[in-house]
Structure 1
C-alpha cells in the first residue's frame, strides 16, 4: 500500500524531492525488516526509478545502493552502465560488480570510469591486466598508486612498453617496488635517450659526447638495477639487455669490477649455456684455466680474461675476510694487468682506467658526505 502511494506521489514531485525519496526508499530496502511482499514491491519501485528523467535521481539511487552487498544485482549492473556521474558510485565501490562488469567499462575507453575502477579498494590481477592493456595513462597512474591493487609483473611490463614515454606513468612505474628489473632498465634507458636528444644538451655538450654520457649512464643504471634486483630476476634482465644489444664488454667488465658477481654469473649462464650450478661453482672456487674456459665459452675476448680473473681472485679474498677492498682497489688491480682489447673491441686499458676513475670519484664523494655527517 505504501509503495503504491509512493508511485502515485513521485510523478508530481520535484527533482529534489525525488532524489530524497530515492535515497529513503533504498535505505528502507537495505536496512528495514520488510516482509517478502514489501521487499518485492520496494524492489519494483526502485527499478522504476531507473527510468527517472533526471540523472540526479538515478545518481542518488546509485550512491545509496553502492556500498551494500544486499542491493538488487539487476539495479547495480544497470546503474553501473550509466554515464559516469551516475555509475561512478558503483564503479568506485560496489562489492557486487564482477571483474567482467568492470573490464567492460574499462574497454569502453571512458577515462573517468577507468580512473574510478583503478582506485577501487580491491583490484584483482585480471582487472589490473585489463587496465594495463587499454586504460588511459592517468588511470594507469591511479592503479600504480593504489597500494591495495594486485598487479602482476606482466601487467607492469605492459604499462612500461605501452606508456613508458609518458612521464607520469614512467615515474609511477619506477616508484613501484614490484617493477621487473628488465622494465626498470627499459624506462631508465628511455630517460637517458630523451636527455641525450634534448637540444640544450647537444648544444652544450655536443652530440657525440651526449651520446657517450648517455651510454655510460645506462651501464651504471643497469648495475644499480641488478644490485637492487632479486637473483631470480637476473636472468630476465640479462635477456632484456642482450635483446637490446646492451650486454656489452664494457658492462661486463664494470659488473665484475664492482663486485656484482651474482649478476656476472647470470650473464655467463646466458652467454655460455652452462648450468647455473656449474657457473656458480667455477666462479666461487674454479682455477684460472677453468675460469678462462668458461669465459671463452661465453664469447668473452681473450684480452678480458686476465683482468676478470684478477678481479675474481680479489673478490674471493674480500668474501673470506682476508682483504678489505672495494671497486677502487679492485679496478686498480685489474688495470695493473696491462691487458688490451683487440682493435675490434676497443681499448681495454682506457675502459679500466675510466672505471677506476669513476670509483675514485665515488670514494671521494662518500668521504666528503661522511665528513659532513660527522
Structure 2
C-alpha cells in the first residue's frame, strides 16, 4: 500500500520533502475516488501529520484541504487551532467550519484570527454579531468592507459604540449604505468629541469656543444626515436624538427653517403622541390654532409657535408650486416674525445665525457655479 510506504518514509525525509508529500496526499484525498481501504489509510496518515514538528508540513496540508468539503473534519478542526500561519489558511477558507466553530475562534483568538474570519467569503449575521461584539477595530473594519458579510443593524450599532473613535473604522461605517441613521449620528458625535479633545483644536480655539463651534457643527451635520435617511428610519434617529438630549427647540427650529418638514412631522408624532395621519394633515393644511395645539402637546413653548407656523406656510406654497424659496428666505421671514434683525434675545440670535449660515451657503454655491462655468 502506498500510504504504508509513505508513513515509513516520513520518519527520515526532510521537512521540504514531507511538506510536498503531505500536500500531494491531501490533494489525492479530496480530489480522487480512492478505494475505501486506501481512503481510510490516507485519512489516518493526514491525522498523523498534524503532529509533524514542521509548520511547513502542516501549512501545506492546510492549503490543500482548506477549500474542500471532503476534507477530514478532525484534521480541519485541528489545523484551525494551529499557529497563525497554519490556522489562517483554514479559518479564512474552510466551508467545514460552522458558525459555532468560528464564533469560538473569534472569542478565543487574537486580532489576526478575528480579521481572517471577518474576511471569509460569506459571514452570517450571527458570526457578524460576534465580531461586532468582541472583535477589535481592525476586525470590525474588515467585516464592514466584506461584501459577503450579512450585518444586522444592532451589529452596526455595537461597532459604532465600541470603536466609533477609531478613524479608519468610523470612515468605513459612515460610507456603508447599510448603516442605520442613528448610528451615523452617533459617529458624528464621536468625531466631534475627538476633535474637541484634540490638543491642536484646544490650543487654537480654547476649550469653550471649541465646544461651542463643534456642537454647532454636529447640529448642522445632523441636518445633512436627515437628507440621506429613509423615512422608515426616522423613528430610530428621533429616539436616538431624544435619548442624547439633542432634540431641542433650537434643533427643531433649524429643521423647519431648512424645510425638513417630513422629519419635523415625525418629531411631532414622537413628542406629542398624535397619530401620523393627523400630524401630516395638519402640516399640509391645518389652521394656526390646530398647529399650535400640536406644538404645545410636543412641549414646544408658545414663543416659537409663530415662527414655526410662518415657515410652514412658506414650505406649503413651495410644495404646491406657488413659490420658490429656500432656507435663506424662510429664515428671514421667521426672523421678521419676531421683529427682524433689530430683535434681541436667544431666539432672535438663533434665527440670525440660521439666516447668516444660509446666506453663506448660497454665496458659496453661487461662487462655485461661476467657477465651474
Q: Which residue of 2 aligns with 1:123?
A: 123
Task: Quote the Cα distance in structure 2 between the aligned partners of 1:233 and 1:334.
Answer: 29
Residues in 2 aligned to 1:114 and 1:201: alpha-carbon distance in whole angstroms: 35
- Correspondence 1:223 to 2:223: yes
Alignment CA distance shift 1:339-1:129 (3 Å): farther
| Structure 1 position 302, deviation (Å) | 0.5
Alpha-carbon distance between aligned partners in 1 of 2:27 and 2:137, rounded to the nearest angstrom: 37
RMSD (Å), alpha carbons = 1.3
Q: Match for residue 208 of structure 1?
A: 208
Q: CA deviation at 1:21?
A: 0.4
Q: How does 1:253-272 map to 2 (within 5 A)?
A: 253-272=253-272
> Structure 2 stretches of 5 or more lacking a match?
none
What whole-Å deviation, never above 9, does each CA across 1:133-169 have from its counterpart, x for those lacking one?
1111111111111122111110010011111122222
Check if 1:85 corresponds to 2:103: no
Matched, 1:314 2:317: no
Q: Does 1:58 align with 2:89?
A: no
Residue 354 of structure 1 aligns to a residue whose secondary structure is: helix
Alignment correspondent of 1:367: 366
Query: For residues 23-42 of structure 1, what are the structure 2 equivalents within 5 Å?
Result: 23-42=23-42
CA distance, structure 1, for counterparts of residue 81 and residue 246 of structure 2: 48
Q: 2:239, 2:109 → 1: CA distance?
A: 34
What residue in structure 2 maps to residue 335 of structure 1? 335
Q: Distance in 1 between matches of 2:237 and 2:248?
A: 14
Query: Does residue 356 of structure 2 align to residue 350 of structure 1?
Result: no
Which residues of structure 1 form unaligned runs of 5+?
341-345
Q: In structure 2, what is the equivalent of residue 247 of structure 1? A: 247
Deviation of the 1:339 alpha carbon: 6.3
Residue number in structure 2 paired with 1:343: none
Q: CA deviation at 1:103?
A: 0.5
Q: CA deviation at 1:360?
A: 0.6
Q: What is the distance in 2 between the residues matched to 1:285 and 1:323?
A: 16
CA distance in 2, matches of 1:327, 1:148: 42
Q: Does 1:12 align with 2:12?
A: yes
Aligned to 1:138: 138
Distance 2:224 2:87 in 1: 45
Q: More displaced, 182-191 or 60-69?
A: 182-191
1:313-346 Cα offsets, whole Å, 9 max, x none, are 1111111111011111111111111169xxxxx6
Shift of 1:10: 1.2
Aligned length: 369
What TM-score does the superposition give when structure 1 sets the normalisation length? 0.96
Structure 2 distance, partners of 1:33, 1:214, is 68
Q: Distance in 1 between matches of 2:204 and 2:80?
A: 55
Deviation, structure 1 residue 18: 0.4
Distance 2:339 2:266 in 1: 25
Task: Name the counterpart of 1:175.
Answer: 175
Q: Any conservation in 1 of the 2:165–2:194 contact (CA below 8 Å)?
A: no
Q: Distance in 2 between matches of 1:33 and 1:94?
A: 21
C-alpha displacement of 1:205:
2.4
Structure 2 distance, partners of 1:261, 1:137, is: 37
The answer (yes or no) to whether the contact 1:314–1:330 under 8 Å persists in 2 is yes
Tell me, yes or no, if the aligned pair for 2:311 and 2:333 is still in contact at 8 Å.
Answer: yes
> Which TM-score applies when normalising by structure 2?
0.96
Maintained 8 Å contact 1:160/1:187: yes
Work out the CA distance in 2 between the residues paired with 1:198 and 1:63. 47
